[in-house]
Amino acid sequence: MTLAAQYATRIGRMKASEIRELLKLLDQPGLLSFAGGIPDPALFPAQAFADAFQAALSPEHQAQSLQYSVSEGYLPLRQWIAAHMAKIGVQCGPENILITSGSQQAIDYLGKLFLSPKDTALVGWPTYLGALAAFNAYEPRYDRLRSGENQPPERYAQAAEAAGGRVKFAYLSPDFANPTGVTMTHAERLQMLDLAETLDTAVIEDAAYQDLRFDGEPVPPMLALEQDRKGGDIEACRTIYCGTFSKTLSPGLRVGWVVAASPIIQQLVLMKQASDLHSPTINQIVTYQVAEQLFDTHVAELRSVYMRRRDAMLAALKEHMPAGVTWTKPEGGMFIWVTLPEGISGAQLLERALEQEKVAFVPGQAFHADGSGENTLRLSFSNSNEPAIAEGIARLGHVLKTAM
Ligand code: PMP
């Protein structure tokens, strides 16, 4: 019994993610994996969480921590986030913040909020696979956002209308993007804000990796740049900022947040009520306690560890990649994006790499809304130590040389 004939049309666009399928194969002994873009579990602040959970479960606090709570999210956590946002140039109050179950839920809600079938979402080629997966359920059409390109904005609007809808938002990850590791310059961010203004669309700023800058100059979030342009008035901003504790404290607790003009937050709160009422109360409480206690020092440690891993991967790529292969040089985050010579398939290379050299990565095609990018792949350096990176990239270089 499948009942497949009764499924809604939106289900037709929901496919198993290549990454999830692949992660099933990663348990083999001796396999070196640069596939999952996940934090190193050895770096979780586990003791601080243990203490915070114990306190939250004590007789004085359990009535609150195990109880239902408001859909907007735990107020002290929203206040902490407001202070955190102020440090990166965004002035907002708790009324501008919704706590979500990871930023993935925020991305899904924003798809639900804006997209009717046939509407257009502007995304990069490539872009975060999880955003495409979330948006797909709302049956949009995608158009390609090109940073730094001067194409007339009307072209986007006309193409969207021809497809039977309107451009509803641009989805971007301006800092150390997944999958490319690339950061948008100040000028590119302003240009993107101009485009959104002309098209009268929202901007979804996915800031998942923003805290993980290793070197170079920080660029203000798009929301900060827009707020600045609008005389400091967050209520006038069309940028919707999605933050998360997944890459800094713990992804397993599923605590993320959205910052936006309050009418947008109020609409998202209604969605949250209808979907899961609120994010787990106790997870929000312990996240607040741990963030308050050690966020800055912990993030400083993550940066220094991940920076060494990035450096090790860049050095190994330089040493082992055959001529004709290029890659990005990220200033933070977890990813390096590799482009192979035309005609070499990332997916086929993965098969060989797993079989012959026991090394894994994610082929790049899945990150492209149009199915292009066959000759690309994503490497993650966050969850491997330096010797494993050196060994794994040497193995990858070996498979590539035989493939070429
Ligand atoms: N955005 C980007 C760019 C990501 O890479 C991820 C995690 N892979 C997410 C959002 C979602 O993360 P979370 O739901 O854990 O906050």
pLDDT digits (tens, 9 = 90+) for 361-381: 999 998 998 989 999 999 999
Work out the mean pLDDT of the chain and round it to a whole number.
95
Q: Which one of 274, 293, 312 terminates a domain?
A: 293
Predicted local distance difference test score (pLDDT) of residue 350 = 92
The CB of 246 under 6 Å from ligand 1? The reply is yes
pLDDT digits (tens, 9 = 90+) for 179-232: 999 999 999 999 999 999 999 999 999 999 999 999 999 999 999 999 999 999
How many Å apart are CA 328 and CA 99, to the nearest integer? 33
Q: Which one of 264, 293, 322 terminates a domain?
A: 293
How many Å apart are CA 210 and CA 243, to the nearest integer? 8
How many Å apart are CA 219 and CA 225, to the nearest integer? 9
359-360 and 32-33: which strand pairing? parallel
In this predicted structure, the answer to whether residue 360 has a pLDDT above a threshold of 90 is yes
The arithmetic mean of pLDDT across residues 140-164, rounded, is: 88
End-to-end CA distance of the chain: 46
Are residues 21 and 73 both part of a single domain? no
How many Å apart are CA 399 and CA 270, to the nearest integer? 51
How many C-beta atoms surround the C-beta of residue 58 within 10 A? 10
Structural domain contains residue 393: yes
The arithmetic mean of pLDDT across residues 253-280, rounded, is: 98
The CB of 174 under 6 Å from ligand 1? The reply is no
Are residues 78 and 120 both part of a single domain? yes
In this predicted structure, the answer to whether residue 18 has a pLDDT above a threshold of 70 is no
Q: Measuring from atom 2 of ligand 1, which residue has the nearest CA?
A: 208
Structural domain contains residue 353: yes
Q: Which atom of ligand 1 is nearest to the CA of 173?
A: 3
Structural domain contains residue 58: no
Q: Measuring from atom 4 of ligand 1, which residue has the nearest CA?
A: 208
Are residues 115 and 177 both part of a single domain? yes
What is the Å distance from ligand 1's center to 306 Cα? 17
In this predicted structure, the answer to whether residue 91 has a pLDDT above a threshold of 70 is yes
The CB of 130 under 6 Å from ligand 1? The reply is yes
Which structure tokens are listed for 298? 């912990």
How many Å apart are CA 328 and CA 322, to the nearest integer? 15
Is the Cα torsion angle 142, 145, 151, 157 positive or negative in sign? positive
How many Å apart are CA 254 and CA 283, to the nearest integer? 8
What is the Å distance from ligand 1's center to 243 Cα? 9
Q: How many CA atoms lie within 13 A of 36 on its CB side?
A: 19
The CB of 244 under 6 Å from ligand 1? The reply is yes
Structural domain contains residue 318: yes
Structural domain contains residue 229: yes
Predicted local distance difference test score (pLDDT) of residue 22 = 63
pLDDT digits (tens, 9 = 90+) for 285-294: 999 999 999 9
How sure is the predictor about 148, in pLDDT bands with cuts at 50, 70 and 90?
A: low
What is the Å distance from ligand 1's center to 195 Cα? 25
Structural domain contains residue 355: yes
Domain count, the chain: 2
DSSP H/E element including 379 = strand 376-380
Burial 29-42 (b: 16+ CB within 10 A, else e): eebbbbbbbebeee
Predicted local distance difference test score (pLDDT) of residue 26 = 75
Are residues 347 and 360 both part of a single domain? yes
The CB of 287 under 6 Å from ligand 1? The reply is no
pLDDT digits (tens, 9 = 90+) for 50-73: 999 999 999 999 999 999 999 999
pLDDT digits (tens, 9 = 90+) for 101-139: 999 999 999 999 999 999 999 999 999 999 999 999 999
Are residues 289 and 325 both part of a single domain? no
In this predicted structure, the answer to whether residue 239 has a pLDDT above a threshold of 80 is yes
ipTM of the predicted assembly exceeds 0.90 = yes
Predicted local distance difference test score (pLDDT) of residue 283 = 98
The arithmetic mean of pLDDT across residues 337-363, rounded, is: 94
Which structure tokens are listed for 15? 């496919």
Three-state secondary structure string covering 52-108: HHHHHCCCCCHHHHCCCCCCCCCHHHHHHHHHHHHHCCCCCCHHHEEEECHHHHHHH
Q: Angle at CA 206, nearest 5°, toward 333 and 87?
A: 75
pLDDT greater at residue 27 or residue 78: 78
The answer for residues whose C-beta is within 8 angstroms of residue 387's C-beta and 6 or more apart is: none
Are residues 33 and 76 both part of a single domain? no
Are residues 193 and 90 both part of a single domain? yes
The arithmetic mean of pLDDT across residues 13-35, rounded, is: 77
Predicted local distance difference test score (pLDDT) of residue 149 = 65
Are residues 323 and 286 both part of a single domain? no
Predicted local distance difference test score (pLDDT) of residue 36 = 87
Structural domain contains residue 1: no
What is the Å distance from ligand 1's center to 162 Cα? 32
Long-range contacts of 261-264 (CB under 8 A, 24+ apart): 261/96, 261/234, 261/235, 261/236, 261/237, 262/95, 262/96, 262/235, 263/235, 264/113, 264/240
Bin 101: left if φ > 0, else alpha if -120 < ψ < 50, else beta. beta
CB 42 within 8 A of CB 384: no
Q: What is the CATH number of the domain that holds 303?
A: 3.90.1150.10
The CB of 208 under 6 Å from ligand 1? The reply is yes
CB 208 within 8 A of CB 244: yes
Are residues 206 and 337 both part of a single domain? no
Q: Which one of 263, 293, 323 terminates a domain?
A: 293
Q: What is the CATH number of the domain that holds 130?
A: 3.40.640.10
What range does the domain containing 153 cover?
A: 67-293
Structural domain contains residue 276: yes
Share of residues in the chain with pLDDT > 70 (%) = 97
Predicted local distance difference test score (pLDDT) of residue 27 = 75
Are residues 129 and 256 both part of a single domain? yes
How many Å apart are CA 167 and CA 382, to the nearest integer? 35
Which structure tokens are listed for 133? 């997966």
Are residues 126 and 268 both part of a single domain? yes
Predicted local distance difference test score (pLDDT) of residue 20 = 63
Predicted local distance difference test score (pLDDT) of residue 16 = 73
Are residues 13 and 157 both part of a single domain? no
Pocket test for ligand 1, best of 101, 132, 184, 246 (most atoms within 8 A of CB): 246
What is the Å distance from ligand 1's center to 130 Cα? 7
What is the Å distance from ligand 1's center to 159 Cα? 29
